[in-house]
Structure 1
Amino acid sequence: MFDTIVDYLSSISPAYAALLATTFTWFVTAVGAGFVFFFKKINRTVMDVMMGFTGGVMVAASFWSLLAPAINMSEGENFVKVMPAALGFLGGAVFIFILDKILPHLHVNFKKVEGIKTPWQKTTLLVLAITMHNIPEGLAIGVLFGGAAAGMPEASIAGAVILAIGIGLQNLPEGVAVAVPLRRMGMSRRKSFMLGQSSALVEPIAGVLGAVAVTIFTPILPYALAFAAGAMIFVVIEEVVPESQQGGNTDLATMGFIGGFIIMMVLDVALG
């Protein structure tokens, strides 16, 4: 099954392949958001473990799928070899930092609105917070597909598919984390679901843009891979991990993180 998917995605354009892969990650988000039709609230312990799992997957994906290939494909030795990855990583973190300061958004705990002041409702701000998560995730998938199409040995279709699977796994709790709080605020099930799944619609857009950019400008691939990694790590440290630790379930949330990291690492090494 896995080989069949890889073979098919290898036979089509990288932009289309990235679109299909990121449509899958959006679909998993929608499945998570669909929990709102069955539950009005999620146990805080379960939510903390899921958020920890999300962080673990994102950190593992950042290294195994993005940073390591970025370093391996860079030319030169010693400091020269690692500089593209270092610069790209810093650029990705700064990009999300700027978005975090400019784009109005609200974290899942509803305690603090960040970004510029706005009259927007809490529902919109919460969706924007998760949307910000999904930009680097979609970009990472697209960049890998573009790199594979450009013939870079360190970027493979199999690796891109594995990354999409991993991001899909952690998108499930993200869908829950948006839709269920909206339902708890009094919003209808249907509207909570629609807003929850819409938070991942940015992934196909970012995925296609990443694939096209790398296909046209192949030399930017190591920078682009590291950029996506830096953006994801910033999101994990600034938001995902702190939120997983605020419910008093620190040990369980940490084990969720470890579990997510192991699953993503195993998928990447065993299948990639």
Structure 2
Amino acid sequence: MASSRDRRNSHCLPGLTAAQSQQVRSLTRTALAERGFEAVVHADHLVTVDGRQFGLTTLGSLCRRSGSSEHWAEVVGRWVDDLLTNFPTEPVPLTPDQIRAGVHLRLVQLDAEKASWYTHARPVGGGFHEMLVHKDGDYVRWISDRELVGVDVAEMHALGRQRLLEIEPDDVEVLTKRGAVTLCIRGRSGFVASKLLVLPELLREIAPSLGFPDGHLVAVPSRHELVVAPVSPAVDDCLEALELITGFDYAHDHAPISPCVHWWHEGRIHPLFDASVRGRMFFADVPAKFRATLARNRGEGAA
């Protein structure tokens, strides 16, 4: 069950307040109507009458970065024009051969409604799912259940995973403080954050000395960045580093994903706290196992 925090934030586009998010939606609806298009605008996406679906996350980020909301109508107008130019009609369904040629795994966030549309997506915790997407050049589209009829989904997951493993980040920054080690993994590819889905393999390649018996603190502030720190006796310094990096990069990157710091353990993702909110406050549903691990690494007694 979603927490009250999750339900409240589900009505906000990344980095925007509820009122600002509603302003973006209203401007989008108006811009589409002015161009003769009917659409239903939802919390984080819109659906045109012919069935096309477009996310609003990038648009929200463009508005936020443009500064004053006085300019948002212009930003929305340009975005809608680009959208209608690049996608004038509903995309033709992918064939099995096309799916096989371009399938990748991507880390995405899905609410319960969206998860019901993409039943092939595998939940990995914290509202995140392992999604099959199709990459054709710079264009990435989610693969629908309808397009996977008659396709070996397990084979596509294996192929998509292999393609994700082959994507290399452009930069790995290693931050150290009093024994704490934090890795900032970045790249131009929009699949860098998705490498959280293959974290053990990634760390064996770029940081083989970092073991993970207690899991890792992780964050994906944007599609282009993955931040990782092993849970160790220096855990508080790691938490501080992830809090600062995640809060800043989520607010300033053009492709934000999540402002939260998470615990990755045995392939599952557990949200710990929202780094965009001042004063670190752990969520009430943080696993008891993590609290015990935290206390042990801090040298405390019972959790």
The higher relative CO (CA closer than 8 Å, separation ≥ 6) is in: 1
User: Same fold judged by TM-score > 0.5?
Assistant: no
| TM-score, normalised via structure 2 length | 0.25
**Structure with bigger gyration radius:** 2
Bigger share in strand: 2
| TM-score, normalised via structure 1 length | 0.28
Bigger share in helix: 1
